[in-house]
Amino acid sequence: MRIRPVTTVATGALMGLSALVLLPADAQAASHGHPPVVVGHRGAAAYAPENTLASIDTARRLGITWVENDVQRTKDGQLVVLHDTSLARTTNVRKLFPRRSPWNVGTFTLREIEKLDAGSWFGAKFKGVRVPTLRKYLNEVDHNRQRLLMELKNPELYPGIERQALQELRHDGWLDRRHIKHRLIVQSFNADSLKKVHQLNPALTTGFLGSPPVADLPKYAKFCDQINPPHTAVTHQYVHAVHALRGPHRYRLDLFAWTVDDRPSTLKYADLGVDGIISNKPDVVRDALDDGDD
Ligand code: G3P
Ligand code: CA
């Protein structure tokens, strides 16, 4: 999914109308015949505290355009970016709120969460880094001219989060044509949640996290543009089965594999034909792919 909307149209025009129609927009099935898209997992989680602004800024400094995140909801209904259900692993919540075990995101107000240090656990130089709201996070991604693979994390814990997340995206200017076509993919492990996202805004690109049986893939293709499995589930046959289907936008289904952090694995999965690689070390993946081009 290299960024190529202009050349795509030009090439399509040269190839004739049928080729033009089948060529994808770059948030939808666009790496065909190109190296896989590189996505920074939780920003650049190997180098900076995951899911923070520092993490996406690190990804930007490494030259990484696509970043992945996880969205959840606070007790008072605010959307924040954090991976675990609990705040305990990646913040100092135990110290500040010792009696609030198991320290779940949904039991804290935004005001409380904003007091937490979400950086020190990773390294002293990140002391004081905060858990970002989705709004601040989207603004930073935009500011960095990056693109977002946004995961609704455990949406079953947060009824209505699909509509709310879309409202937030709209408020922050992420549902205009440019963002929808080129800068945004929404993914989830929860198929019903993803179906809801697709129903609420059929133009959005969506990805299912997991590896459904091949026989079930056509059902997913009704509301998903991508099937994004753990790398251990990726085989040539599985990639082929995914690619044999067209998604709701009539483009060939894409497959993004996670989480791949070393050069040999990158080359292996690129060879298997994956369309994207989600990585904690996106620079390592990018460099392996660039070398592989030589
Ligand atoms: O984007 C793939 C990956 O984020 C899914 O797993 O647990 O890191 O959210 P997890
Ligand atoms: Ca995730």
In tens, the pLDDT along 81-126 reads 999 999 999 999 999 999 999 999 999 999 999 999 999 999 999 9
Atom number in ligand 1 closest to CA 70: 9
Instruction: Check residue 251 and give left, alpha or beta (phi > 0: left; psi -120 to 50: alpha).
Output: beta
Establish if 282 belongs to a structural domain.
yes
The count of structural domains within the chain is 1
**What is the whole-number distance in angstroms between the Cα of residue 13 and the centre of ligand 2?**
37
> What is the C-alpha separation between 205 and 199, in angstroms, rounded?
12
User: And the tokens for 45?
Assistant: 């989680």
pLDDT exceeds 50 at position 246: yes
The larger pLDDT score, comparing residue 16 to residue 102, is at 102
> What is the C-alpha separation between 129 and 35, in angstroms, rounded?
34
> What is the C-alpha separation between 135 and 290, in angstroms, rounded?
33
Establish if 221 belongs to a structural domain.
yes
User: Of the bound ligands, which one is closest to the alpha carbon of residue 257?
Assistant: 1
Q: Which of 151, 186, 187, 275 should be mutated for ligand 1, with most atoms under 8 A from CB?
A: 151
Establish if 236 belongs to a structural domain.
yes
Boundaries of domain holding 40: 2-84+132-292
Query: Nearest-CA neighbor of 149 among 47, 78, 259, 70?
Result: 70
> What is the C-alpha separation between 126 and 285, in angstroms, rounded?
24
**What is the whole-number distance in angstroms between the Cα of residue 17 and the centre of ligand 1?**
38
Establish if 124 belongs to a structural domain.
no
Q: Which of 41, 71, 226, 232 should be mutated for ligand 1, with most atoms under 8 A from CB?
A: 41
Residues lining ligand 1, Cβ inside 6 A:
41, 68, 70, 83, 151, 209, 258, 278
pLDDT exceeds 80 at position 16: no
The mean of the pLDDT values for the chain is 91
* Residue 198 annotated as catalytic: no
> Which CATH number covers residue 78?
3.20.20.190
* Residue 83 annotated as catalytic: yes
**What is the whole-number distance in angstroms between the Cα of residue 82 and the centre of ligand 2?**
9
**Angle made by CA atoms 259, 78, 220, in degrees to the nearest 5:** 45
| Strand locations in 194-274 (E) | 205-209, 226-228, 254-258
**Angle made by CA atoms 153, 285, 267, in degrees to the nearest 5:** 110
Establish if 109 belongs to a structural domain.
no
**What is the whole-number distance in angstroms between the Cα of residue 203 and the centre of ligand 1?**
23
- The one catalytic residue in 41, 179, 198, 231 is 41
Each residue's pLDDT tens digit, 215-225? 999 999 999 99
User: Of the bound ligands, which one is closest to the alpha carbon of residue 70?
Assistant: 2
Establish if 20 belongs to a structural domain.
yes
Q: Provide the 3-class DSSP secondary structure of residue 16.
A: coil
Which residue has a Cα nearest atom 2 of ligand 1? Answer: 258
Establish if 101 belongs to a structural domain.
no
* One-letter amino acid for residue 169 of the chain: L
**What is the whole-number distance in angstroms between the Cα of residue 17 and the centre of ligand 2?**
38
Going by DSSP bridges, is the β-strand pair 226-228/205-209 parallel, antiparallel, or unpaired? parallel
Query: Nearest-CA neighbor of 226 among 199, 201, 246, 206?
Result: 206
Establish if 102 belongs to a structural domain.
no
> What is the C-alpha separation between 107 and 167, in angstroms, rounded?
22
Q: In Å, what is the CA distance from 198 to each residue of 21, 49, 161, 172, 179?
A: 22, 31, 13, 19, 16
pTM of the model: 0.91
Q: Which of 55, 148, 258 should be mutated for ligand 1, with most atoms under 8 A from CB?
A: 258
Which residue has a Cα nearest atom 4 of ligand 1? Answer: 41
- Give me the mean pLDDT over the 180-195 stretch: 98
Q: What is the pLDDT of residue 292?
A: 72
pLDDT exceeds 90 at position 205: yes
